[in-house]
């Protein structure tokens, strides 16, 4: 059995074959410039996302990136702009839109059983054993939630997937390379070392954004162990290069989900209960449910169930170092320092406020704004500031607006975005007034989040726009959706 990655050229050949060849002459200045553009467009993050210890200087990065490109296309890895390389670069990029996605190993090997066992024979000193156990179980659950396979942790004998942390030579003719470079590898499904997954002990393994995040690397490696090769979709887990993303509420990207489901089919039953937290699955996003209207007769609604996949938020905001999610007269507080999630009635903390439609934090003034219907409050700690509630018109919203759906303060611009149906306003906090030129269309100006928002918040530099039971993690300056999550992914459900 070969280590998984040796096989990746198989699917690349397909792409090359589908693109028409364009003859070229020997490299000129112009071609050099074009090659640079090409590499930065299609291979730029190869060097950048590598662990810092192997990050290259800009001087040798062109040659290195070129080598990657040549390896990728099955060309001679010369590091030179030879005519074959130029030819591939000159091809129309036909493959890049629809042909490129997940890949399978040759012969499409798979596990022909419904329970796949795994065993961790060598742990890393970088993390506690239980952190490793929990992380591996969580990662496998990403897969067992969406395909009809269950994973069973065994502690002796030979498991289907033998997992170990080892440095350098470790007996499989694919020695590791010290810190940086190759972080891990895995064998495609099969007998013997098939499915086995090895992590390079010379990396520093973490559960954070520092070093190599075990959750993300293991998720990638188990993709191989289940039969996936590398994908060319940049946002896919099986993209060849490691890039840290927030692992909280992590869901398998669509491309990878489609890739494993093409091998094993879609899970229809629920997965085996495990002792660790389930991760949200990436089913086609359920159609948003209409927001239940508050019953004016009842002042106390029953507490909502936070572990419902269809959980819809009324509002969400950071307050100090915690996230607050509002729903039906209650809120959940999720602390950044890990002490779990607590639920409270809004009234019990801020008397007089029964429901929150939208909320945002303005850290500079140490205040939080709550919107309900056609008025809003400014609060600090548990106290409502004097003079509140005030009508929405005091905010500069037109009288036609009788309710704000969502609000979020964007720290990079100093603006608060106020969402009302399919449009939004921008409020300049420093000047204390609305920006001109609004309202704007959500769909047009914030592409990737849909056309409505019912809760929004900022966390660790990303914006989260929620509508219905799902939400989009968003990079505001690039106006780009990063990934889709289910709301209840924040709720740490067992």
Q: Which does 49 bind (CB under 5 to 8 A by kind): Zn ion, ligand 0ZB, none?
A: ligand 0ZB
Task: State the binding string over 170-189 for ligand 0ZB (x if CB under 6 A, else -).
Answer: ------------xxxxx---
Applying CB under 5 A, among 2, 45, 82, 172 the residue interacting with Zn ion is 172
Query: Which of these is catalytic: 179, 221, 361, 372?
Result: 221
Residue count of the chain = 494
**CA 56, 483, 204, 220 torsion-angle sign:** negative
Dist CA 67 CA 10 (whole Å): 18
Out of 149, 216, 225, 449, point to the residue binding ligand 0ZB (CB under 6 A). Answer: 216
Residue 448 beta carbon to ligand 0ZB: minimum distance, rounded to whole angstroms:
22
Residue of the chain from 5, 164, 353, 384 that contacts ligand 0ZB (CB under 6 A): 5
Residue from 198, 267, 355, 415 binding Zn ion (CB under 5 A)? 198
d(CA 66, CA 80): 7
What does 63 bind: ligand 0ZB, Zn ion, none (CB cut-off 5 to 8 Å by kind)? none
Distance CA 86, CA 12 (A): 17
Q: Rg of the Cα trace of the chain? A: 26
Angle, CA of 228, 230 and 231, to the nearest 5°: 100
Query: Does residue 442 bind ligand 0ZB (CB under 6 A)?
Result: no
Shortest separation between residue 241's beta carbon and ligand 0ZB, angstroms: 4
Beta bridge partners of 359: 370
- The contacts of residue 155 (CB under 8 Å, 6+ apart) are 119
In whole angstroms, the minimum distance from the beta carbon of 460 to ligand 0ZB comes to: 19
253 neighbors 237 (Cβ within 8 angstroms): yes
* φ, ψ dihedrals at 450, nearest 5°: 90, -160
Q: In what order do the strands lie in the sheet with 470-475?
A: 455-459, 462-467, 470-475, 480-486
Q: Which does 198 bind (CB under 5 to 8 A by kind): ligand 0ZB, Zn ion, none?
A: Zn ion
Among residues 61, 235, 241, 354, which is the contact residue for ligand 0ZB, using CB under 6 A? 241
How many Å separate Cα 72 from the centre of its chain? 25
From ligand 0ZB, Zn ion, none, interface partner of 239 (C-beta below 5 to 8 A by class): ligand 0ZB
Q: Which of 218, 253, 255 is nearest to 100 (CA)?
A: 255
Is residue 473 annotated as a catalytic residue, yes or no?
no
**242 belongs to the binding site for ligand 0ZB (CB under 6 A):** yes
Q: Does residue 239 touch ligand 0ZB according to CB under 6 A?
A: yes
Task: Name the site residues for ligand 0ZB (rule: CB under 6 A).
Answer: 3-5, 49-50, 182-186, 216-217, 220-221, 224, 237, 239-242
Q: Which residues are catalytic?
A: 221
């Amino acid at each position: 059995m070969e280590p998984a990655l040796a096989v990746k050229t198989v699917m690349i050949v397909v792409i090359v074959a589908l693109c028409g060849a364009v003859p070229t002459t020997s490299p000129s200045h112009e071609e050099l410039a074009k090659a640079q553009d090409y590499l930065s467009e299609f291979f730029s993050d190869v060097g950048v996302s590598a662990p810092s210890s192997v990050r290259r200087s800009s001087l040798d990065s062109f040659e290195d990136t070129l080598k990657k490109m040549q390896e990728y296309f099955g060309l001679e890895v010369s590091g030179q702009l030879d005519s074959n390389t130029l030819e591939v670069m000159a091809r129309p990029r036909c493959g890049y839109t629809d042909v490129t996605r997940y890949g399978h190993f040759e012969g499409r090997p798979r596990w022909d059983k419904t329970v796949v066992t795994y065993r961790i024979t060598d742990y890393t000193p970088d993390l506690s054993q239980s952190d490793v156990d929990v992380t591996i179980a969580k990662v496998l659950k990403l897969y067992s939630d969406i395909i009809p396979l269950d994973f069973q942790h065994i502690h002796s004998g030979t498991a289907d997937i033998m997992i170990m942390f080892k440095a350098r030579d470790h007996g499989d003719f694919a020695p590791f390379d010290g810190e940086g470079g190759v972080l891990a590898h895995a064998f495609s499904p099969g007998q013997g070392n098939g499915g086995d997954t090895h992590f390079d002990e010379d990396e520093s393994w973490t559960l954070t954004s520092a070093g190599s995040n075990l959750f993300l690397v293991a998720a990638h490696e188990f993709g191989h162990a289940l039969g996936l090769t590398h994908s060319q979709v940049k946002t896919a887990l099986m993209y060849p290069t490691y890039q840290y993303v927030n692992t909280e509420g992590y869901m398998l990207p669509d491309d990878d989900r489609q890739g494993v489901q093409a091998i094993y089919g879609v899970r229809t039953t629920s997965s085996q209960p495990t002792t660790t937290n389930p991760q949200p699955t990436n089913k086609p996003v359920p159609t948003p449910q209409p927001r239940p209207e508050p019953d004016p007769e009842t002042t106390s609604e029953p507490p909502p169930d936070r572990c419902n996949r269809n959980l819809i938020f009324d509002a969400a905001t950071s307050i100090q170092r915690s996230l607050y999610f509002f729903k039906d007269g209650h809120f959940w507080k999720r602390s950044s320092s890990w002490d779990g999630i607590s639920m409270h009635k809004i009234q019990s903390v801020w008397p007089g406020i029964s429901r929150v439609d939208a909320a945002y934090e303005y850290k500079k003034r140490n205040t939080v704004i709550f919107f309900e219907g056609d008025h809003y409050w400014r609060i600090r700690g548990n106290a409502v500031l004097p003079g509140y509630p005030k009508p929405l018109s005091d905010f500069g919203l037109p009288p036609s607006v009788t309710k704000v759906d969502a609000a979020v303060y964007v720290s990079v611009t100093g603006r608060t975005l106020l969402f009302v149906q399919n449009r939004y306003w921008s409020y300049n906090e420093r000047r204390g007034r609305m920006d001109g030129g609004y309202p704007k269309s959500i769909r047009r100006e914030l592409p990737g989040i849909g056309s409505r928002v019912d809760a929004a918040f900022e966390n660790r530099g990303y914006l989260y726009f929620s509508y219905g039971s799902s939400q989009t993690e968003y990079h505001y300056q690039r106006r780009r959706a990063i990934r889709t999550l289910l709301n209840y992914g924040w709720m740490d459900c067992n």
